[in-house]
Amino acid sequence: MKLFPINRKAQHMTETIAVLFIFFVLVAFGLIFYFKWHEGAIKEEQTQARASRAMDTTLRVLFLPELMCTRGDAVPEDNCVDMMKVRSLIGQDIPTIPPNPAPILDPSQSYFMRNQQYYYDVFGVAKVVLHNLDNSENIVLYDKSLSPDPTKQIIYEPTYFIVALRDIDDSTHQSKYGFGYLEVGVYGEVIQ
């Protein structure tokens, strides 16, 4: 005589519930793994998109006619920035022959600031800085960042490109070349 008779239906139901429980636990682990992997893939894709946008913006800056060095017949010189054009665009005094005491304009009234909408369409949210290695001069040509939002983390992704800087020698009034680099950075938001 058995003390506890085994009910086959109850045993089968218990086994079914246990199998379903294990199945849903495995599905839950699979979904968690997938979403974590997908989140990492999205962040990697964002990083690649920012880097690509930074390179595109760098190429746009390098080929701006407002900054390019040109020879007498308007043939552009590769990877060269004309410092006279830069000083004119940012509103600094330009040496002239003979010297002309032109007033130095307010930097907020530079060409890039007066035409900010046009350059926003060209560069978007970015920062363009010209670093002159000869005299440690840093000239901010364009800076439009994202509006500050305390709930979002903002990332700055810079790229650097070495350029020649053509200027006029004050004593000989001949072209002289120096070295510098363009820092072109783009801003982006991090998805949490």
Arithmetic mean of pLDDT, 5-16:
78
Q: How many of the other CB atoms lie within 10 Å of CB of 104? A: 11
Identify the pLDDT of residue 103: 41
Arithmetic mean of pLDDT, 12-40:
92
Q: Classify residue 11: in a domain, yes or no.
A: no
User: In whole angstroms, what is the distance from residue 114 CA to residue 11 CA?
Assistant: 81
Torsion sign over Cα 94, 69, 67, 73 = positive
Q: What is the pLDDT of residues 77-131, one digit of tens each?
A: 888 998 888 888 877 654 444 444 444 444 456 787 778 888 888 888 888 888 9
Integer-rounded Cα Rg, in Å, for the chain is 31
Q: Classify residue 152: in a domain, yes or no.
A: yes
Q: Classify residue 39: in a domain, yes or no.
A: no
Q: Classify residue 182: in a domain, yes or no.
A: yes
Q: Classify residue 4: in a domain, yes or no.
A: no
Identify the pLDDT of residue 2: 58
Q: What is the pLDDT of residues 131-187, one digit of tens each?
A: 988 888 888 888 888 777 777 788 888 889 999 999 887 777 788 889 999 999 888
Identify the pLDDT of residue 92: 65
Q: Classify residue 17: in a domain, yes or no.
A: no
Q: Is the pTM of this model over 0.85?
A: no
Domain span including residue 150? 48-190
Arithmetic mean of pLDDT, 8-32:
90
Q: Classify residue 72: in a domain, yes or no.
A: yes
Q: Classify residue 24: in a domain, yes or no.
A: no
* Count of domains observed in the chain: 1
Identify the pLDDT of residue 21: 94
C-alpha distances (whole Å) from 112 to each of 141, 155, 181 are 7, 23, 19
Residue 23 has pLDDT above 90, yes or no: yes
Identify the pLDDT of residue 191: 65
Q: What is the pLDDT of residues 32-45, one digit of tens each?
A: 999 999 988 888 88
Residue 1 has pLDDT above 70, yes or no: no
Identify the pLDDT of residue 98: 41
Identify the pLDDT of residue 108: 55
Looking at the chain, how many residues does it have?
A: 192
